[in-house]
Structure 1
């Protein structure tokens, strides 16, 4: 990942509602959440959440899938993992033992959706 791409992702995450949405979708796992459920859980109007979801989708942090009359949004775990790797790639001047706690957290979830929450209050 280059710095421009990282800046785009961080820019999208720098807004409070969008950060909350991404965190909710990470917790929701691969089943994701319908747009209406995202709006309700985030405490914002459907039009407001639609605006934020479109921005998150534009930068690739969430994906949208139509299921019947609903649009289901899921976190783009691969892009989130790339962002974490970008932050950690030159970790600790070649002393990986210093970064071990951070890299362990970055590997908390496995692809099938099981894993641990970083913040048990939001899980």
Structure 2
């Protein structure tokens, strides 16, 4: 089963977004220094986590990350189904990610952790 594992807000105002969600929902953030800019880890509770990313987007957008077993295969399947591949699978410290956009399904990110998935363990 492909489950939602991370929710990320891409915004042009990291401080404003962080303050808004803290005040509205008591979602706490923690600044993390990353090579490509500013990032705030977001404690939203429940079975997954989140983050706030500062970027040049004109319209803030939430991007859900879904855990998959074969990121290359599923990214290619999305392309065959008509999705635009905004970010080809790329490796990060803990796994691989890709980003897709469909005219009928919005944007979604795929995530494949470096550690093998353990079936039935949460």
Normalising by structure 1, report the TM-score.
0.29
> Which structure: greater strand fraction?
2
Normalising by structure 2, report the TM-score.
0.29
> Which structure: greater helix fraction?
1
